[in-house]
Amino acid sequence: MTGPNHSIICRLTSTGQGAALCATAVFGASLAHLVASPELYGDPFQAVITTSAPGASPPASLVSELTRDPVIDRITTVTVPAITVGTVNVRALATTAVRGPVLLSTADGRFPAGDQEIALGATTMRDTGTRIGGTVRVTVTSPDGTPRAASFRVVGTVPLPGEAGTGGIGTGAVLTAAAYLAAQRPSALGPSDLRRCHIAAAARPVDAVVMHVRPGSAGEAALARYARQNPDSFATPIVPTALVSFGESANFPLLSGIVVAACGIAALAHLVVVSVARRRRESGLLKALGLVRGQLAAIVFWQAATAATVGIAVGVPLGLATGRAIWRAFAREVGVVPVTVFPGWLIGALGGGFLVAALVIAVVPALTAARARASAVLRSE
């Protein structure tokens, strides 16, 4: 392998390592942001109070009390019926927005608003073979135990809260409580029947009430008060087990970063050492022509710095784009909101650290080049 070709290959390797480091940093930062942001994995609320626990407040009085509290700016009631989407049996969240918009998140599309609209978890979406904009057959059980089916249009992908008991972030469905009640009725419903469904949905017993409070000490005090009043039924958002397990198993970003950094440093060290060894004659000739030791050492340092700079300049943008693409694919697969985080300080630290490491690696090869003897070259010539 010739010197120039070897240099090009090593610089390409350096670029690849820089891209891999940046992609790892983007993925790790995005994963940490996801775990720290409940609204991204389906919990945009601060508390949920179930109404089935022993000693729980009656749903109607609880909703009335929360509605009178000015500190609570969003309230949603939820029931969790069993339904069949296509041929897939899942738990659904039938919701009613009491104050403000519904306290759930959407990963793609929008939240159901009409009486024949539904949003699905990512896993359920794949299992039913449908997509946003498609139509699915939804089967529910009427109050008398009769199965009834209706067509629903899929309008979004939603991450399902872990507290809902649907089976996971991507498993389940979301529709309005009025749409669920309408699906239980015979197919020929007129406008007056639909209005009655909406009225019945508002008065229907619920399984849980989720809430969001205004920021500040008053909101924190309100949450603490409701927690004391409902000790057995009050809960706050929890990180889904799937995300916890993935993050722990992985120590993924850290371990990958260490491996990639070690490979990058090794490749750069190999480039500098081999280059100096193969150019001993050139170093001796340059010394014979008048270059001093400091100038010969500077050539080696510039070579190392150039290789590192090329890796940073090309690898960083490539790594950011690659990291974003990998993260969005992961988020879509899991079914969470795909928010990508670009850690500027970490990217800067990686770039600066890679450059410093290149200069440190070049110290010994630079000293070797500076000690090249011109006499040996002249005798051979």
How many residues in total does the chain contain?
Answer: 381
Place of tokens 């009613």: 96
Helices (H) and strands (E) in the chain, counts: 13, 11
Burial (Cβ within 10 Å: 0-12, 13-18, ≥19) of residue 348 = exposed
Mean pLDDT of 270-285: 63
| pLDDT number for residue 132 | 95
Mean pLDDT of 302-330: 83
Comparison of pLDDT for 359 and 205, the residue scoring more: 359
State how far the Cα of 351 lies from the Cα of 357, in Å rounded to an integer.
10
DSSP 42: T
Nearest to 20 by CA among 251, 245, 265: 265
DSSP 151: E
Strand locations in 31-166 (E): 47-50, 72-79, 82-85, 88-99, 108-109, 117-120, 135-141, 147-157
**153 pLDDT more than 90:** yes
Question: Where in the chain are the domains?
Answer: 3-37+245-380, 44-237
State how far the Cα of 208 lies from the Cα of 50, in Å rounded to an integer.
4
**179 pLDDT more than 60:** yes
pLDDT band at 131 (very low <50, low <70, confident <90, very high): very high
Nearest to 97 by CA among 107, 83, 111, 108: 111
pLDDT band at 88 (very low <50, low <70, confident <90, very high): very high
pLDDT band at 1 (very low <50, low <70, confident <90, very high): very low
Q: How far apart are the first and last CA of the chain?
A: 24
pLDDT band at 94 (very low <50, low <70, confident <90, very high): very high
Comparison of pLDDT for 7 and 100, the residue scoring more: 100
State how far the Cα of 225 lies from the Cα of 34, in Å rounded to an integer.
28
3-state secondary structure of 147: strand
pLDDT band at 350 (very low <50, low <70, confident <90, very high): confident
Look up residue 21 and give its amino acid: L
pTM for the complete prediction?
0.74
Nearest to 159 by CA among 108, 89, 102: 108
Q: How far is CA 236 from CA 38, 62, 105, 220, 267, in A?
A: 10, 17, 16, 12, 49
Nearest to 41 by CA among 299, 207, 243, 205: 243
3-state secondary structure of 287: helix
State how far the Cα of 15 lies from the Cα of 27, in Å rounded to an integer.
18
Mean pLDDT of 161-174: 79
- Residues whose CB is less than 8 angstroms from the CB of residue 236 and which lie 6 or more positions away in sequence, other chains included: 46, 47, 48, 223
Comparison of pLDDT for 211 and 243, the residue scoring more: 211
Contact 101, 45 (CB under 8 A): no
Q: How far is CA 351 from CA 103, 229, 346, 361, in A?
A: 41, 53, 9, 15
Contact 13, 267 (CB under 8 A): yes
State how far the Cα of 255 lies from the Cα of 270, in Å rounded to an integer.
23
**Identity of the highest mean pLDDT range in 183-187, 250-254, 272-276, 319-323:** 319-323
Place of tokens 């179930």: 50
State how far the Cα of 131 lies from the Cα of 332, in Å rounded to an integer.
13
**11 pLDDT more than 70:** no
For residue range 17-63, what is the model confidence (pLDDT) as tens digits? 667 778 888 888 888 889 888 899 888 999 999 887 666 667 778 88
Other CB atoms within 10 Å distance of the CB of residue 283: 22
State how far the Cα of 19 lies from the Cα of 257, in Å rounded to an integer.
11
Comparison of pLDDT for 142 and 78, the residue scoring more: 78
- Residues whose CB is less than 8 angstroms from the CB of residue 132 and which lie 6 or more positions away in sequence, other chains included: 108, 109, 154, 155, 156, 157
Average pLDDT of the chain to the nearest whole number:
79
**140 pLDDT more than 50:** yes
